[in-house]
Amino acid sequence: MPKKNSPPGKSLEPAIIREQPITETLELNYMPYAMSVIVSRAIPEIDGFKPSQRKLLYTMYKMGLISGSRTKSANIVGQTMRLNPHGDGPIYETMVRLSTGNEALLAPFVDSKGNFSKVYFRDTQYAASRYTEAKLSKICEELFGDIDKDAVDFSDNYDGTMKEPVLLPSAFPNVLVSANMGIAVGMATNICGFNLQEVCSAAIARIKNPNTDLLSVLPAPDFPTGGELLYDRDALSKIYETGRGSFKVQAKWRFVKEQNLVEVYEIPYSATVEQIIDRIRELYKDSKVKDISDARDESDLKGLKIAIELKRGADPDKVMRRLMKLTPLRDSFSCNFNILIAGSPKVLGVGEILDEWTAWRTETVRRRVFSDLTKKREKLHLLKGLGKILLDIDKAIAIIRETEREDEVVPNLMIGFGIDETQAEYVAEIRLRNINREYILKRTKEISSLEAEITDLADIVSNKSRIVNIIVNELTAISKKFGTPRRTEIVSNADENDAAPEEDLSEDYPVTLFVSKHGYFKKITPMSLRMSGEQKYKEDDSELLRIETSNLADIIVFTDNHKAYKAKVSDFADSRASVLGDYLPAKLGFDDGENFISLIATIDYTESSLFAFANGKAARVPLESYATKTNRKKLLAAYNDKSPLRALICFKEDVELAAFDTAGRALVFSTAQLSPKFSRDTQGVQVMSLRAKTELAAVLPLSDSGIESPSGYRAANLPAAGKRFTAQFKIDV
């Protein structure tokens, strides 16, 4: 109890703190949140929709917007909040993505009017919901056609005041047609879109032959923003099989000769206009692309257009090849086909998704047919009761007229004609004007046709092959009615185009590279070098390498983490002797704790490199092993990690080297004695035989070793122990 004079509402007793194991906290607090995000927010289900999308579309369906005129988006958003309690902002964003105006989907479900922005704009905002209008597009008829026939389950909304569908009975594999992306807890999904006609054809082919080659009927993904897909059959086969992988899409462009500019009119789905223009301007500013004078957005009501002005005499093909390499004009789309199947997330390949959809659609069609069968059986039952009335209409009228109490009419009809309560209720509700032989004859004539329909429907319910035929026929009709040509063109020779060496449009001139032991890098032109004085380094730093090469050369930077980082000399600005230069670990993005070891410069990768290790082994690796066809900047396993690296030497032709161990012995050998190994992480061969507790300390060019009479240190065969080096020689290990 609080003390008598303590402030009101405050207790002076100590608070009770209960220790809770972290595992219990995760189980009770975090896991329910994680499951909610996965199951109820971020991951789509087999109908192709996330819960927020499904709630929006169902609300619009209940508002009668599938056939009526458009209404204000704000009205739709307000109604949707009965199912989706997450606020009007997220609901409207969901509508924007599903709209025809935003162009994010190949088959948009919302017929929009007003400014809904565009998926390929990053900075352009859509208009507020009070200004725009929307209704459901025609293709939604294929989503809701079976919704009122018990084709899918319904559940309570968040406050239990109304029902909503668990799934929408989509008559086509929308999960593959509509692109979808979501980030959950510990997992994500990224599904690319496919052409509606091709998806329907693939579904039909898969139903008829589970072993069909899907790539023959579903050749590649398709995107509403168009572009060119760089066809790689192996990469697509992996995606189709596992649901994971990536492929590349590049922009479409044309050269306007009269204005000396390039017009980009289709871009990759994952890129935006602003992102592309910003990157082009950045390249121009850094002098990496010098044949461009301006890049601007000229998009209008006719569609997307990025104008790239070229300088006089520039080759548009070379410029665009360069830009494709360095900007999002060519971009990769990473696939992760993560879908909720029966409430559990699963990563499925395209074939598996089609199989799951077919199984689910088979059940929805069976339920729809069974619903029709039940209704027709009920109707037949009523008509058979009405047929018995036909035998004696006067008797029925007499029973009704002579019954004193209203609640006794139905029981008396049941007794008088031998019918059940349902039939009697139906007869009793017939209007007086319809109690005539003509009306009853017309109704009872339906009995024979109903019986035939019921027999047919019952056969469909019990015959899976007939249900499958219905699905195939519906897919064929949908493909014919709503199908559109591909928007993304497939470039069949993508392998050769993508593997072609990059055109470097930088200027070619001689430079001298200075690299310090700490990893500071300077590129100095001959004129600047003649005019400069002593090279500037930090107090505890000094020159490690001085290399004469070209501005178009590549550099390969090696680290103590057995990695190599690649860059172009042209990526670095011209420097002076009086500055420290670029710090390579920061410039190239070294990992934490990773340190610079050495650097190699090459123009054509015809040189060889020698790696000497503390265990006395040496590996001769041709530099072509480091030449990559793609634009990779970081190479893992760049050299062997079994023993510390003691020396790295690059040579064009075979040279003589001197190896020293920590016991003061020296060995002279030639690189010609080592066979080249094309595996970068090769262990090499034993060069120097080492005694116990002795290591290889250094390997130097013979001219820098201080050995005046090398013949005494040479060995005819390797490995060799070498000879004690009598001259004073200090080695840093």
Q: What's residue 389's pLDDT?
A: 81
Query: How sure is the predictor about 531, in pLDDT bands with cuts at 50, 70 and 90?
Result: confident
Residue 276 has pLDDT above 50, yes or no: yes
Q: Which domains does the chain have, with CATH numbers?
A: 43-170 (3.90.199.10), 252-328 (3.30.1360.40), 510-724 (2.120.10.90)
Q: Which residues pair with 657 in a beta bridge?
A: 669, 701
The string of pLDDT tens digits covering residues 373-398 is 999 999 999 888 888 887 788 888 88
- AA identity, residue 671: T
Tell me, what's the pLDDT at 12?
A: 57
**Residue 549 has what pLDDT?**
92
Looking at residue 464, its pLDDT comes to: 93
**pTM across the whole model:** 0.69
Q: What is the pLDDT of residues 325-350, one digit of tens each?
A: 999 999 999 999 999 998 899 999 99
Average pLDDT over residues 191-199: 96
The CA distance from 216 to 198, in Å, is: 10
CA dihedral 105, 110, 112, 115 (to 10 degrees): -50
Tens digits of residue pLDDT in 300-309: 988 999 999 9
Q: 289 pLDDT band (50/70/90 cuts)? A: confident
User: Distance between CA atoms of 583 and 585, rounded to whole angstroms?
Assistant: 6
Predicted confidence at residue 509, as pLDDT, reads 86
Q: Are 682 and 620 in contact (CB under 8 A)?
A: no
Whether pLDDT at 629 is above 70 = no
Collect all residues with Cβ–Cβ distance below 8 Å to 462 and sequence separation of at least 6.
Answer: none
pLDDT number for residue 733: 40
Percent of residues, the chain, with pLDDT higher than 90 = 61
**In this predicted model, what pLDDT tens digit does every residue of 56-72 receive, in sequence order?**
999 999 999 998 899 99
Q: Which of 30, 131, 158, 509 is catalytic?
A: 131
Higher pLDDT, 592 or 728: 592
192-219 mean pLDDT: 95
406 vs 619, more confident: 619
Question: What share of the chain in percent tops pLDDT 70?
Answer: 94
| Most confident stretch, 350-354, 663-667, 674-678 | 350-354
Q: What mean pLDDT value characterizes the chain? A: 89
Sign of CA dihedral 282, 284, 286, 289: positive
State yes or no: pLDDT of 599 exceeds 90. Answer: yes
Report which of 455, 554, 452 is spatially closest to residue 513, judged by C-alpha positions.
554
Does residue 501 have a pLDDT over 70? Answer: no
| Residue 127 host element (H or E) | none
Q: Please tell me whether residue 633 adopts helix, strand or coil conformation.
A: coil
Structure tokens at 188: 């994500």
Mean pLDDT computed over 144-156? 93
439 pLDDT above the threshold of 90 = no
- pLDDT at res. 631: 63
- pLDDT-derived band at 632, boundaries 50, 70, 90: low
Characterize 645-677 residue by residue with b for buried, 16 or more Cβ atoms within 10 angstroms of its Cβ, and e for exposed.
Answer: bbbbbbeeeeebbbbbbbbebbbbbebebbeeb
> For 83-97, 476-490, 714-728, which range has the lowest pLDDT when averaged over its residues?
714-728
Beta bridge partners of 622: 608
Q: What angle do CA 205, 210, 212 make, to 5 degrees?
A: 60
Whether residue 643 is predicted with pLDDT greater than 80 in this model: the reply is yes
Other beta carbons within 10 angstroms of residue 324's beta carbon come to 20
Residue 2 banded pLDDT, cuts 50, 70, 90? very low
Q: Are 574 and 510 in contact (CB under 8 A)?
A: no
Task: Look at residue 726 in the predicted model and tell me its pLDDT.
Answer: 66
User: What pLDDT band is residue 497 in, cutting at 50, 70 and 90?
Assistant: very low
What count of other Cβ atoms lies within 10 Å of the Cβ of residue 187? 16
What pLDDT shows up at residue 548?
92
**Look-up of token digits 């192709």:** 48
Which long-range contacts does 198-202 make (Cβ < 8 Å, 24+ apart)?
198/222, 198/486, 199/172, 199/173, 200/172, 200/173, 200/475, 200/476, 200/478, 200/479, 200/483, 201/479, 202/350, 202/354
Residue 574 is predicted with a pLDDT of 87
E strand or H helix at 435, and its extent?
none
What pLDDT does 730 receive? 47
Quickly state the pLDDT bin for 500 (edges 50, 70, 90).
Answer: very low
pLDDT at 498 over 80: no
Query: What's the token pair of residue 335?
Result: 């696939």
Phi, psi for residue 71 in degrees, rounded to 5: -130, 165
Is position 131 annotated as part of the catalytic site?
yes
The answer to whether residue 527 scores a pLDDT higher than 60 is yes
The answer on pLDDT for 555 being more than 60 is: yes
Name the nearest CA neighbour of 620 among 698, 561, 677, 687: 677
